[in-house]
Structure 1
């Protein structure tokens, strides 16, 4: 039993090291695009922080979702965040499964480059939308009478740039249309829908997305319109952006071309193999499979050895 565990552990470690080497080489090529995506995530947070300074609390707008769904209340507002956190971290862990599992369909670096492209496009439209019109926030800390509903004038630029993390991120107001939680949820679900392999998990993911939508409204974190707009906007963005991006190679087939350039060492070894084949009299064309007969040190193609001997004897 101990030997089996040690052997499997050794295989797993070699697999992790091999995958890490490949992913690091890809990261060395694609790091600029990934860095831009991460920086734009920060800019999105900065924009959400900025609109909080413009937020003015007021009466909660009439909303069909608020009428149909009972209010969870402050003490149960954590439920929607728990569901979102489960979805978020489950997706992140899944994107790194190629490091462990032998069966894999994608490269982690390339997948995250695609995910960040979806997120950035969605968040860009979101920033334009919530700066165009500021609605009175329905969340408890955004209502009239709350000290957090309006932000005082910042004392210095660092107070804005640092986003007052994490308090400023959790207790934001004004960034309503459309829901950022639903952007992440739908992008993750749509990505797994395309690159995931378990049908049951795909169905569960869509169910969680629907439940998440209802919980956001029931928690009064967003108006119903914020969630509805997110559903069709994110789906359209993912559809069109996905068409523009180059398709990722499918690693499950084992026939995808190598993404990384061949090193000089590999090229040298390949050329040496070709030279050895030439010296041994083997054709480099693998389609040339005709039988050859050697007579007195010469190769005769498509010939009969008996006829060859007869010809040499003059008969």
Structure 2
């Protein structure tokens, strides 16, 4: 029994992998562009750190309203973010195992990367426009990490000191990158997920994440507020202009992705009016209790006395010169 279940699961995973790979081979360029932009975004964040100058904290309503968690509890917001990230990642690959197939994983991540790239592009523009003094502890006056010394070579900039350079960056404030990922993931699950309770819980986690970021003093409140309306607007407009993904539970499919299948679909669409006409004829035949075609029906009517004469008369009147 156990071997039978494992064999069935393996067949399902293999079939799903083959299907997703077929999509990946066609969509890899856009996926690769989205992944490469993640590095560009990290490079931009590293670059603005060289421009950052520490200063007194700005007046912030969130800082007044929320108690400061302290440097030793900064991990709380990172823990929530990591939980959201890993949960979404695992959910996006669940069609490989479970029977509920509401989307293709490749197409889902293609969509997610489009949302991330558009939001991150706007983020780069905003934090390079004006550099604010960072509220995080390592960005304040007196910290050695608050200002980076000029780079010794280009390679030092290109390597972005990963992951330390990402974790201890300064200057990339408006708007929060953590909230970009969180809101994109939550909105995507809200649209393509199937559990209402999880959707409500996901939005609750997004709110908690926002409060923890402010309480940890990793961002100003404005960074979080701007992220909430900017990311939601970006996702709304980008999603509206992208072709909708098929709902696999309804049996529809975005495939074919091969040229042969595309030609088959094109031929099917070209012959659709002809097929519809034939279906209507068959429907009328069934209603009339007949299974013969219209030509045979006309010939039989013509052989039935008066009805045949009436029809012949009508046909002769409708034909020029009586022929």
The CA distance in 2 between the partners of 1:263 and 1:16, in whole Å, is 25
1:67-104 superposed Cα distances (whole Å, 9 cap, x missing partner) = 01000001100000000000001001110001001111
User: Of residues 18, 22, 39 in structure 2, which corresponds to 1:42?
Assistant: 39
Aligned CA distance change for structure 1 residues 17 and 251 (closer, same or farther; 3 Å): same
Tell me the equivalent position of 1:277.
none
Shift of residue 224 of structure 1?
Answer: 0.2
Distance 1:178 1:229 in 2: 6
- Provide the residue aligned with 1:154 in structure 2: 151
Separation (CA, whole Å) in 2 of partners of 1:158 and 1:60: 33
Whole-Å separation in 2 of the counterparts to 1:257 and 1:241: 19
CA shift for structure 1 position 255: 3.2
| Residue equivalent to 2:117 | 120
Summarize the alignment of residues 242-253 of structure 1 with structure 2, pairs less than 5 Å apart.
242-253=239-250
Cα distance, 1:257 vs structure 2: 5.3
Look up the SS of the partner of 2:250 in the other structure.
Answer: coil
Alpha-carbon offset, residue 139 of structure 1: 0.2
Aligned twin of 2:199: 202
1:228-247 to 2 correspondence within 5 Å? Answer: 228-247=225-244
1:18 paired residue number = 15
Number of residue pairs the alignment of both structures matches = 279
Deviation at 1:262, TM superposition (A): 7.0
Superposition map of 1:80-159 within 5 A: 80-159=77-156
| Alignment of 1:185 onto 2:182 | yes
8 Å Cα contact 2:26/2:257 also seen in 1: no
SS at match of 1:238: helix
Residues 1:164 and 2:161 aligned together: yes
Query: C-alpha distance in 1, partners of 2:114/2:106?
Result: 12
Q: Distance in 2 between matches of 1:40 and 1:260?
A: 26
Instruction: Specify every segment of 5 or more residues in structure 1 that has no aligned partner in the other structure, as ranges.
Output: 268-284, 294-299, 302-315
Q: TM-score, normalised by structure 2?
A: 0.81
Which of 54, 61, 67 is the aligned partner of 1:70? 67
Mapped partners of 2:125, 2:260: distance in 1: 46
RMSD: 2.4
How far did residue 260 of structure 1 move? 2.6
Q: Relative to total residues, which structure has the larger helix share, 1 or 2?
A: 2
Q: What's 1:273 paired with?
A: none
Per the TM alignment, residue 17 of structure 1 is displaced from its structure 2 partner at its CA by: 0.3
One of 2, 6, 9 as aligned partner of 1:9? 6
Unaligned stretches of 5+ in structure 2? 265-277, 298-323
